[in-house]
């Protein structure tokens, strides 16, 4: 196996890819050549413009994680961060300071915004940023591709008690506002992907799926991370057509997300927040879906039979990404599931 393509969100996806790379270096992944190329197609529907800056949370989480610059306690942003700019913005009473931007992180957004304003597409901007973060550690083994160069934004409809302002009883907020300011503390009545239907896949995205020897859906959010990548026109079709086996890893363990807000997002689209629910939502390629195999946690072993009945290869193994070694073992089990 010489090329692996991963469809990733932020935290869950990045942690999985770090473990995958660990397994590659350790030689512990069955059938994977030591010089395998890993292409990460990352979700960009969480992106937002704030304080005049273009921020790409999932691209940055992958880039910082693999570049060993991520603050793991916080789960986002830079290590050794300081917050002077945020404090100054607050002192000016500037709106939207709920979105935390550290001083070091802001340098990334300044470089990105300047390049975008000079006319470079997001894919080239990302390549430039990755020259600092990925090349020194990974050479050309790892490529990070935005799912699209077009602007796509996830918005969430929530109940609005102010009926005078919104006669429908709903108001729509940017996904980041739902997650960061509202802390996903109210039900997501509806999730809307603005611009997704008209987006084109970013350069290299479709080829990375078509030419892969293996495609992995890591334990990323099935709605707002992987769901948006699958929603880019053309992506689902190449997944259905690729010769590569496609395997996914459940982000839901024992009926709950490990971290984040997958339960709220799944509820908004009427999918059970269970390991089987998500696997069946993606579906078997043999039945019109996008997966050949689906790995669930050992506590969800009872879900395996239903998944197999639906035409998927399925196994139950420990799915807690507690260390790079544990995550590499998950990756090995995922590969083994669809290649044995």
123 interacts with, out of ligand GDP, Ca ion, none, CB within 5 to 8 A per kind: none
Total chain residues near ligand GDP (CB under 6 A): 23
Half-sphere exposure (CA, 13 Å, Cβ side) for 199? 27
Q: What angle do CA 301, 287, 197 make, to 5 degrees?
A: 105
What whole-number distance in Å separates Cα of residue 108 and Cα of residue 104? 7
- For residues 257 to 296, the per-residue mask of contacts with ligand GDP, x marking binding by CB under 6 A and - elsewhere, is xxxx-x----------------------------------
Residues 197-216 touching ligand GDP, rule: CB under 6 A, are none
258 interacts with, out of Ca ion, ligand GDP, none, CB within 5 to 8 A per kind: ligand GDP
Q: Which residues pair with 143 in a beta bridge?
A: 39
44 lies in the binding site for ligand GDP (CB under 6 A): no
Q: 106 with 84: CB under 8 angstroms?
A: no
Residue 252 C-beta: closest distance to ligand GDP, Å: 6
**C-alpha closest to that of 185 among 206, 156, 222, 208:** 156
332 interacts with, out of Ca ion, ligand GDP, none, CB within 5 to 8 A per kind: none
CB nearest ligand GDP: which residue? 12
- For residues 117 to 156, the per-residue mask of contacts with ligand GDP, x marking binding by CB under 6 A and - elsewhere, is ----------------------------------------
Residue 10 C-beta: closest distance to Ca ion, Å: 4
**C-alpha closest to that of 133 among 144, 124, 123, 148:** 144
Q: Of residues 6, 12, 217, 316, which one binds ligand GDP by CB under 6 A?
A: 12
Residues lying near Ca ion in the complex (CB under 5 A): 9-10, 46, 58
Beta-strand runs (E) in 116-227: 142-146, 153-159, 170-174, 190-194, 214-217
Q: Which is nearer to ligand GDP, 89 or 317 (CB)?
A: 317
Residue 133 C-beta: closest distance to ligand GDP, Å: 17
22 lies in the binding site for ligand GDP (CB under 6 A): no
Residue 230 C-beta: closest distance to ligand GDP, Å: 13
Phi (first) and psi of residue 289, to 5 degrees: -95, -155
Half-sphere exposure (CA, 13 Å, Cβ side) for 308? 9
Residue 321 C-beta: closest distance to ligand GDP, Å: 3
Residue 225 C-beta: closest distance to Ca ion, Å: 5
Q: What angle do CA 218, 220, 224 make, to 5 degrees?
A: 140
Q: Which is nearer to ligand GDP, 9 or 23 (CB)?
A: 9
9 lies in the binding site for ligand GDP (CB under 6 A): yes
What whole-number distance in Å separates Cα of residue 18 and Cα of residue 139? 15
Q: Is the dihedral of CA 58, 59, 65, 71 positive or negative?
A: negative
Q: Of residues 202, 219, 231, 293, which one binds ligand GDP by CB under 6 A?
A: 219
Determine how β-strand 37-42 pairs with β-strand 170-174. unpaired
152 interacts with, out of Ca ion, ligand GDP, none, CB within 5 to 8 A per kind: none
**C-alpha closest to that of 59 among 40, 74, 73:** 40
* Helix spans in 53-121 (H): 57-66, 84-91, 103-117
DSSP-based three-state secondary structure for 38 = strand
What whole-number distance in Å separates Cα of residue 255 and Cα of residue 330? 19
176 interacts with, out of ligand GDP, Ca ion, none, CB within 5 to 8 A per kind: none
67 lies in the binding site for ligand GDP (CB under 6 A): no
220 interacts with, out of ligand GDP, Ca ion, none, CB within 5 to 8 A per kind: ligand GDP
By CB under 6 A, name the binding residues for ligand GDP: 8-13, 58, 61, 219-221, 225, 250-251, 253, 257-260, 262, 319-321
């Amino acid at each position: 196996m010489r090329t692996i393509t991963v469809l990733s969100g932020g935290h869950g996806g990045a942690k999985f890819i770090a473990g995958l790379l660990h397994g590659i270096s350790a030689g512990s992944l069955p059938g994977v050549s030591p010089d395998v190329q890993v292409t990460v197609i990352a979700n960009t529907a969480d992106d937002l413009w704030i304080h005049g800056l273009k921020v790409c949370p999932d691209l940055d989480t992958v880039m910082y994680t693999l570049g060993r610059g991520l603050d793991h306690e916080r789960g986002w942003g830079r290590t050794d961060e300081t917050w002077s700019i945020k404090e100054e913005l607050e002192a000016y009473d500037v709106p939207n300071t709920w979105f935390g931007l550290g001083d070091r992180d802001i340098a990334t957004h300044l470089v990105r915004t300047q390049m975008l304003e000079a006319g470079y597409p997001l894919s080239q901007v990302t390549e430039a940023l990755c020259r600092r973060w990925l090349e020194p550690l990974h050479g050309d083994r790892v490529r990070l591709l935005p799912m699209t160069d077009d602007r796509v934004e996830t918005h969430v409809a929530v109940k609005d008690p102010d009926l005078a302002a919104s006669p429908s009883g709903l108001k729509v907020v940017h996904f980041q506002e739902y997650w960061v300011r509202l802390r996903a503390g109210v039900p997501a009545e509806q999730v809307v992907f603005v611009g997704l239907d008209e987006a084109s896949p970013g350069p290299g995205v479709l080829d990375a799926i078509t030419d892969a020897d293996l495609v992995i859906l890591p334990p990323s959010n099935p709605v707002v991370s992987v769901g948006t990548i699958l929603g880019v026109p053309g992506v689902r079709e190449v997944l259905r057509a690729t010769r590569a086996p496609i395997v996914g890893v459940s982000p839901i363990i024992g009926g709950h997300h490990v971290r984040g807000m997958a339960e709220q997002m799944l509820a908004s689209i009427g999918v059970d927040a269970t390991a089987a629910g998500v696997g069946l939502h993606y579906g078997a390629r043999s039945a019109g879906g996008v997966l050949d195999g689906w790995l669930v946690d050992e506590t969800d072993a009872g879900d395996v039979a239903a998944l197999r009945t639906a035409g998927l290869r399925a196994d139950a193994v420990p799915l807690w990404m507690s260390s790079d070694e544990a995550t590499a073992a998950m990756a090995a089990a995922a590969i083994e599931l669809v290649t044995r």
